[in-house]
Amino acid sequence: MAESGRANGVTFAQEWTQLKQNAAGRMKLDGAEKESSGGAGDLKSSKAAWRKAGEGVGSLREGIRKALTELDEGQKGLGKDAGCQTAAAQRAVLESWMRYAKDVSKRCGELRKAMEQTGHDHANIDQAVKDEVDKLKAKYEDTPAVGGRTGHG
């Protein structure tokens, strides 16, 4: 099966592998580059880190869109399948890959949303915990020094 329409003789599989490798290189959890002992405090999370990871996953959709366009363009000269088993088989493979790539694209979009929501939720949880601790500090504040409280009305 010829790879018509592919630049520099690169196959779809090779290009797909390269796209995944490029994306994987951009998607790292904050703190993942250093050695971890597995103890508490080694992994840091932030809303910005989750957003950036979500954007990395979401950016895969552009590469998938380009690959789908190139797949479709490469099949334009194929013509009707009737009477040619090779053309019919090639059309079936194309439709299978198109369906698969579209599903991967949808998954990337949904994963991006989930990652960004996770960052948002973590930020809200962190703030909620801080607010609760601040309430406890105010409620159970130590007895003031001799002379009374200052600045607490």
Q: Into how many domains does the chain fold?
A: 1
Domain assignment of residue 57, given as a range: 48-139
Asked whether residue 55 is assigned to any structural domain, the reply reads: yes
Per-residue model confidence as pLDDT tens digits over 80-130: 665 678 878 888 888 898 999 999 999 999 999 998 888 888 777 877 778
Asked whether residue 12 is assigned to any structural domain, the reply reads: no
**Residues whose CB is less than 8 angstroms from the CB of residue 77 and which lie 6 or more positions away in sequence, other chains included:** 4
Asked whether residue 67 is assigned to any structural domain, the reply reads: yes
* Distance from C-alpha of 108 to C-alpha of 96, rounded to nearest angstrom: 18
* Distance from C-alpha of 153 to C-alpha of 149, rounded to nearest angstrom: 8
DSSP state of 38: S
Asked whether residue 88 is assigned to any structural domain, the reply reads: yes
Asked whether residue 7 is assigned to any structural domain, the reply reads: no
- Give the closest residue to 30 by CA, choosing from 19, 41, 21: 41
Per-residue model confidence as pLDDT tens digits over 109-122: 999 999 888 888 87
* Distance from C-alpha of 97 to C-alpha of 88, rounded to nearest angstrom: 14
- In one-letter notation, the amino acid at residue 102 is K
Asked whether residue 133 is assigned to any structural domain, the reply reads: yes
Asked whether residue 150 is assigned to any structural domain, the reply reads: no
Per-residue confidence band for 22, with pLDDT thresholds at 50, 70 and 90:
confident
